[in-house]
Amino acid sequence: MVVSHPYPTFLAAVVVGKKVSKKAVTRNSIRRRLYGVLEVLRRDYKLTGVYIVIAKPEIIKLTKKAFTTTLFTEIGRALK
């Protein structure tokens, strides 16, 4: 789930709770991947605003390509 709010610069926060994975290593890995995709979006698409990304448990089952595609579509929905 992605929540956005208009703002003149780009700010992002990622939340990966224990419902996603009990292991901190896995949660941190997902968090780093999400921040990486958000950085690419910010740089390539000149995004501005405040974004909060809340990871759901289903994110563990996604491949890297599906992971990126899902985040792109969720951000697109949040921008509308």
pLDDT of residue 26: 94
- Listed in sequence order, the residues at least 6 apart from 24 whose beta carbon sits closer than 8 Å to its beta carbon are none
Please tell me the CATH code under which domain 2-68 is placed. 3.30.230.10
Domains of the chain, by residue range, sit at 2-68
The predicted model scores a pTM of 0.85
Confidence of residue 4 (pLDDT cuts 50, 70, 90): confident
Segment 17-73, tens digit of pLDDT? 999 999 999 999 999 999 998 898 889 888 888 999 999 999 999 998 998 898 888
Give the up-direction half-sphere exposure of residue 52: CA atoms within 13 A in the CB hemisphere: 4
Tokens 């990304």 sit at which residue? Answer: 53
